Structure 1
Amino acid sequence: MTHPTPRPKRTGIAALAADDGDFSVVDAIGGPRGVVESVLPGFVFVVLFVATADLNLTIAVSAVLAVLQVVVRLVQRQSAMGAASGLVAVGICLVWAWQSHEARNYYMFGFITNAVYAVLLAVSLAARVPGLGLMVEFIRQLPTEHLRAWLRGWMDDRPLKRAYMAVTGLWLGLFCLRLAVQVPLYLTDQVGWLGTARLLMGIPFWALAIWVSYLIVATPLHRHIAAEKAAKADGAAEEG
């Protein structure tokens, strides 16, 4: 007797698109192992640089650690996608710091990504098409055709749209707060405090934002999904 393969847990914003009510903050942020793999390179970077002030050593150790995480995943025959994407991000940060010979530039890529996300979400709010709603609905139901009908399907659900607008504003605030706190530390070259702020405003803030987003979106989204299923059932009954 074969057992069905369990569905992989959705992480990040994709966790909000689940319609089975099985939401977990821990799973949404990658599970305990995913959290460790996300935090460890940055933690080692700031601690080692503050302790030694040797940028080349810090870069070398951080790079080896990031590669090792992917290798361990592959040896254990586990999905290395998350670790590999993390390796790419860490690699960009390390190369930036190495080429500029400034430890603080390890954090420049993060500033850019946060700024880009903030701008995109701000534009979506101004256009009254919430960016988080686009992401969740795209994950939940890929619009392979009839894009306008797909968009209207959830945009015309006022409670759901209000929820999506609220969580879009929440995430916009998160990205802006990160920049407001961390950019001054970067400009004053306080690498230790900058690294600490990045760690504290990373996974912990991400987990809190995911949880609050779920609390806001869950009820209107579940009602919307139930209405969709009822409408499909009615349509099938009429055709039958």
Structure 2
Amino acid sequence: MTSLDKPTTQEQGDDGRGRHARAVTEAALFEAFGGIRGTVETILPGLLFVSIYTVNKDLHVSAIAALGLSLALVAVRLIRRDTVKHAFSGVFGVAFGVVFAMMTGNAKDFYLPGMLYTLGLALAYIITTLAGVPLIGLILGPVFKENLSWRTRNPGRKKAYAKASWAWGLILLAKCAILFPLYWWADTTQLGWVLVALKLPPFLLAVYLTWVFLAKAPPPIDVFAEMEERERAEEARKAAAARESEA
């Protein structure tokens, strides 16, 4: 390689910063959405429910088994001292489904609360984006330590959050467009297996698109570091003033 072919120090630095930004974005997305493990933990209770129901058509056994598995997943995380927020959200989702199905006596209603939540989340992504405060920015802002600074101080990042929120909203709406007709026309096992099949692919697509948009966006403004810097400057000013008064 000739000297003309070699990357310059500036280019190497830019590439290093780019890799660092992508790594930070990946870590933030895994923290915010629970990663593959968190998604699998949300799939397993529904998979167990539809598997048991396919075999014996017993709503009570299927529902109790799904709820028991959700609680077991939380217990494992507690024992390992892992974060439990995603596991707890899974327990609440399964519990709502169990209660709803038991009240109506219709096994398909085990899935209805989760479907309504998905529809509501899709609308939330779209409405907040139209309002100028994209939901994905509200979710990831604290994770990136930028809070809401992207709204007024980082327009490129706000645009990336808007694109990501549109992606999440439209992907979830497409998922709902498949599931709700099946809720009315298909039986419980058909709906259940389709729901299980649609858990991971849409999630991975939305996360990937979010990563793409944010990896190309300007870096976040660390408002916590700014506050710490202001506090240090204020302390230094007070110390200087104290020395001057003593002199």
TM range (shorter): 0.7 to 0.9
- Preserved CA contact (<8 Å) 1:132 1:168: yes
- Preserved CA contact (<8 Å) 2:164 2:210: yes
Partner of 1:21: 23
Residue 122 (structure 1) aligned with residue 126 (structure 2):
yes
Of 166, 170, 174, 2:167 maps to 170
Residue 101 (structure 1) aligned with residue 105 (structure 2):
yes
Of 183, 188, 201, 2:185 maps to 188
Residue 193 and residue 63 in structure 1: after superposition, are their counterparts in 2 closer, same or farther (change >3 A)? same
Residue 176 and residue 20 in structure 1: after superposition, are their counterparts in 2 closer, same or farther (change >3 A)? closer
- Taking only aligned residues, the RMSD between alpha carbons, in angstroms, comes to 3.5
Residue 56 (structure 1) aligned with residue 60 (structure 2):
yes
1:128-207 to structure 2, matched below 5 A, reads 128-141=132-145, 150-151=148-149, 153-207=150-204
Q: For residue 181 of structure 1, report the CA deviation from its aligned partner.
A: 0.3
User: Using CA pairs below 8 Å that are at least 6 residues apart, which structure has the higher relative contact order?
Assistant: 1
Larger radius of gyration: 2
TM-score w.r.t. the length of structure 1 is: 0.73
Provide structure 1 residue ranges, at least 5 long, that are not aligned to the other structure.
1-17, 144-149
Q: For residue 74 of structure 1, report the CA deviation from its aligned partner.
A: 3.5
Q: For residue 182 of structure 1, report the CA deviation from its aligned partner.
A: 0.1
Cα distance in 1, alignment partners of residues 82 and 160 from structure 2: 36
Q: For residue 119 of structure 1, report the CA deviation from its aligned partner.
A: 2.2
Provide structure 2 residue ranges, at least 5 long, that are not aligned to the other structure.
1-19, 238-247
Cα distance in 2, alignment partners of residues 156 and 73 from structure 1: 38
Partner of 1:73: 77
Q: For residue 106 of structure 1, report the CA deviation from its aligned partner.
A: 0.8
Cα distance in 2, alignment partners of residues 158 and 83 from structure 1: 34
Residue 56 and residue 201 in structure 1: after superposition, are their counterparts in 2 closer, same or farther (change >3 A)? same
Equivalenced residue count is 215
Q: For residue 158 of structure 1, report the CA deviation from its aligned partner.
A: 3.1
Q: For residue 77 of structure 1, report the CA deviation from its aligned partner.
A: 4.6
Identical counterparts, % of pairs: 24
Cα distance in 2, alignment partners of residues 174 and 199 from structure 1: 16
